[in-house]
Amino acid sequence: MNYKETLFFIAKCLTISLEEKNRKEIEIQLKTSEIDWDNVVKVSTAHFVFPALYCNLKRANFLHFLPEELVNYMIHITDLNRERNQQIIDQAKEINELLLKNNITPIFLKGTGNLIEGLYEDIAERMVGDIDFIVSNEDFRNTVAILKKEKYKAKNEVYMDFHWHYPKMVKENRIAAVEVHNKVLKKPYTSYLDYKTLKDNSFSSSNCTVASFENQLLITILQKQINDNLYFSKTITLRNVYDSFLLSVNTTSKKRNLKNKIIKKYLNNYKSCATELLNAPKSIEYTINKESKKYLESYLKIIGNSKKELKKIALINSYIRIKDKLKILQYSFTDKEYSSYTFRRLKNVSFYLKNLGLKKPKPNA
């Protein structure tokens, strides 16, 4: 099994608890094909879905098809992740209680939000890095100050005002780093998922406020594509795809009418790839058009290790990085947050040295 075949096998496995067609196809594949389990472990770990893979295979009663040693390893890792996630939930509830006492309502996002709202049948399925939550612009600075008072510290205290979250904050004897957001999406898309929008459509779970399934779906797809420019590199992790799938299953409310053409394009093209990976689950809907076909074709070439396509993507990424820097400069003339950042950078000598290639790299420790 090459990388592409392994990726598709794992992706399909992630749906077998809810998609009968895929469950039957995976069962046939397990009975009749030689599965490269070393590759499966490597790829599922790189895509942060190793525990989710185990949980779905277990629910489908397929574990007897796997090597016993692998099953034991999967159980061990999944048990560790379950324990970690329970600690993350407890830590999130502790932060929630602290902020509510100060009349601040955090809305929990991404993995932590999904855990709190019960998206997964088993909390061990999701590999979570940080505790992400958003507060209003008015409460943002106060929230950071309250957490600092509670011994949370950021390694890098340099905060760029236009960034979508404060630098990661950690606390001794707490398992997860915390990211305090006052935005979900960077400019010019901030208003589509701002605090007010998320609050109006949120709901309460275990006394915590979480974004609606529909808004969580939008965050899952758009944050990586827009903030990290992954739309252009067509970098898609199975963790995000799995979350998108489960959130789509749970999204029963009327979909928001997103008028922004770029956002609609990003969503549609992402869904074209997710649908292909997951073998066309019923819950993910998208429009097949010229753009989505072209995007999917490029994505399939990338995961198929096409040197020509990878070279093209590398050039696009270089162009996007330059474009991003020029945008910051452009916004600096009209936006106070951006102008403050730009002025700070222009005063910094190391900024010039780095960009002119004159700054020496730090010696290895």
User: Which pLDDT tens digit goes with each residue over 129-166?
Assistant: 999 999 999 999 999 999 999 999 987 665 555 467 88
- The domain spans of the chain are 3-305, 307-350
Over the chain, what is the mean pLDDT? 88
User: Which pLDDT tens digit goes with each residue over 53-87?
Assistant: 999 999 999 999 999 999 999 999 999 999 999 99
- What's residue 313's pLDDT? 84
Provide the pLDDT confidence category of residue 364 given band limits of 50, 70 and 90. Answer: very low
CATH of 3-305, picked from 3.30.460.40, 3.40.640.10, 3.30.1330.60, 3.30.460.10, is 3.30.460.40
User: Which pLDDT tens digit goes with each residue over 101-128?
Assistant: 999 999 999 999 999 999 999 999 999 9
CA angle 156, 158, 163 (to 5 degrees): 105
pTM, 2 dp: 0.86
| Mean pLDDT calculated for residue range 214-242 | 93
- What's residue 315's pLDDT? 86
Helix (H, G, I), strand (E, B) or coil at 153: strand
The single-letter code of the amino acid at 181 is H
Buried b (16+ CB within 10 A) or exposed e, 79-104: eebbebbeebbebbeebbebbeeeeb
Number of H helices, E strands in the chain: 16, 7
